[in-house]
């Protein structure tokens, strides 16, 4: 049925195309008014209206006067942020945290998937997976609570090494703590997608490789890596696209007054400036700056991957 009406449309002129659409909408009004409407309204109100709200990045926003009554200040907030001595520090903290996090965190799930794939008994494999996936279900608050008590001067790590170091107050330890706890929590779960891709690898191809006397390294090169290559690329683009949107929740929960030198990132700064200090316009400008960098990164990353991957991107 869909095909027939499709042919009609292609023969018709623009006006009757519109007519066809209206007839379709009338016939299938439920699709629009019942199925689509709630999602449409939520998207417009809670996603698009705030996008309009970024205008206050260019205003001295006054909550009482609202957007229409507040004064325009152009790029003043951006200039203030970019010229402030802390700007470079927040930007570098954000970039370092996510880039190092990606460098350490990205390969480990792939490695885990290769290792799991080599477990001979499927029962053992299931039990291992159960343990590996569990930390993913722990909340950020509980995770950071665990980190804090294990690393406290009287916690597990210190009593293991008979030391008395307060890691949570050391700026130099923050990134390691953040990244290692991220791997602890997320690497197992992140491996699930590679494990699935590996189990789709052709068994015959692998058996053929084994008969040809291929060793493990050769099998990985010839059979397993090609099976997961596309998944790895997509995951990589997604991760790079999210580099600047690095989670507020965890960084904020691992911050202490003394480790702010490395733990203050753009998103926590936006929160403090905006909601705690009430500097709405400035805070929005900082957030917008972050989004713009993120979009540039995502687009350029996609371009690079398209070039490397014979025109295929996302």
Q: Give yes or no for a contact between 135 and 184, defined as CB atoms under 8 angstroms apart.
A: yes
Q: Write down the least CB distance from residue 194 to other proteins, Å.
A: 9
Closest CB 284 distance from other proteins, rounded Å:
4
Q: How far is the CB of 186 from other proteins (least distance, A)?
A: 5
Nearer to other proteins, 103 or 296 (CB): 296
- Shortest distance, CB of residue 48 to other proteins, whole angstroms? 8
Which pair of tokens denotes residue 250?
């965890």
The distance of closest approach from Cβ of residue 136 to other proteins in the complex, given in angstroms and rounded to an integer, is 6
Contact 212, 206 (CB under 8 A): no
236 in contact with other proteins (CB under 8 A): no
32 contributes a contact to other proteins by CB under 8 A: yes
End-to-end CA distance of the chain: 31
Residues 34-73: x/- map of binding to other proteins (CB under 8 A)?
A: xxx-xxx-xx-xxxxxxxxxx-x------x----------
Those residues with Cβ within 8 angstroms of residue 67's Cβ, 6 or more apart along the chain or in another chain? 53, 55, 56, 59, 61
- Residue 251 · residue 97 · CB < 8 Å: yes
The C-alpha atoms of residue 224 and residue 117 are separated, in whole angstroms, by 10
**What residues from 199 to 218 belong to the interface with other proteins (CB under 8 A)?**
215-217
String marking each residue 256-285 x if it binds other proteins according to CB under 8 A: -----------x--xx--xx----x--xx-
**C-alpha distance from residue 280 to each of 58, 59, 66, 247 (Å):** 10, 9, 11, 21
Of 110-169, binders to other proteins (CB under 8 A) are 111-112, 114-116, 118, 120-121, 128-142, 144-146, 148-150, 152, 154, 156, 159
On whether the CB atoms of residues 166 and 147 are closer than 8 A, the answer is no
Quick one: 259 or 267, whose CB is closer to other proteins? 267
Q: Is 313 in the site for other proteins (CB under 8 A)?
A: no
Residues ≥6 apart with Cβ < 8 Å to 131:
188
Of residues 39 and 310, the one with the C-beta less far from other proteins: 39
């Amino acid at each position: 049925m869909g095909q027939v009406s499709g042919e009609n449309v292609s023969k018709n002129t623009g006006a009757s195309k519109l007519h066809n659409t209206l007839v379709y909408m009338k016939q299938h009004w439920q699709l629009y008014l019942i199925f689509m409407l709630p999602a449409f309204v939520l998207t417009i109100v809670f996603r698009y209206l705030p996008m309009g709200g970024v205008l206050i990045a260019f205003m001295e926003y006054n909550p009482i006067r609202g957007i229409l009554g507040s004064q325009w200040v152009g790029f003043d907030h951006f200039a203030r942020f970019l010229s402030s001595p802390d700007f470079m520090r927040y930007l570098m903290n954000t970039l370092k945290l996510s880039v190092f996090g990606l460098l350490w965190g990205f390969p480990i799930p792939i490695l885990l998937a290769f290792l799991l794939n080599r477990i001979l008994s499927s029962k053992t494999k299931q039990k291992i997976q159960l343990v590996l996936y569990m930390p993913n279900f722990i909340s950020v608050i509980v995770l950071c609570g665990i980190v804090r008590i294990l690393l406290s001067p009287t916690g597990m790590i210190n009593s293991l090494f008979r030391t008395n170091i307060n890691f949570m107050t050391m700026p130099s330890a923050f990134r390691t703590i953040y990244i290692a706890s991220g791997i602890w929590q997320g690497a197992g779960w992140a491996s699930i997608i590679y494990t699935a891709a590996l189990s789709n690898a052709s068994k015959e191809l692998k058996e053929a490789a084994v008969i040809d006397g291929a060793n493990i390294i050769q099998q990985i090169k010839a059979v397993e890596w090609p099976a997961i290559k596309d998944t790895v690329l997509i995951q990589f683009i997604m991760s790079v696209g999210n580099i600047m949107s690095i989670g507020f929740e965890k960084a904020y929960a691992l911050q202490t007054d003394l480790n702010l030198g490395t733990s203050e990132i753009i998103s926590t700064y936006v929160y403090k400036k905006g909601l705690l200090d009430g500097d709405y316009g400035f805070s929005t400008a900082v957030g917008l700056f972050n989004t713009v960098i993120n979009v540039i990164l995502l687009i350029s990353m996609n371009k690079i991957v398209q070039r490397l991957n014979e025109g295929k991107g996302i």
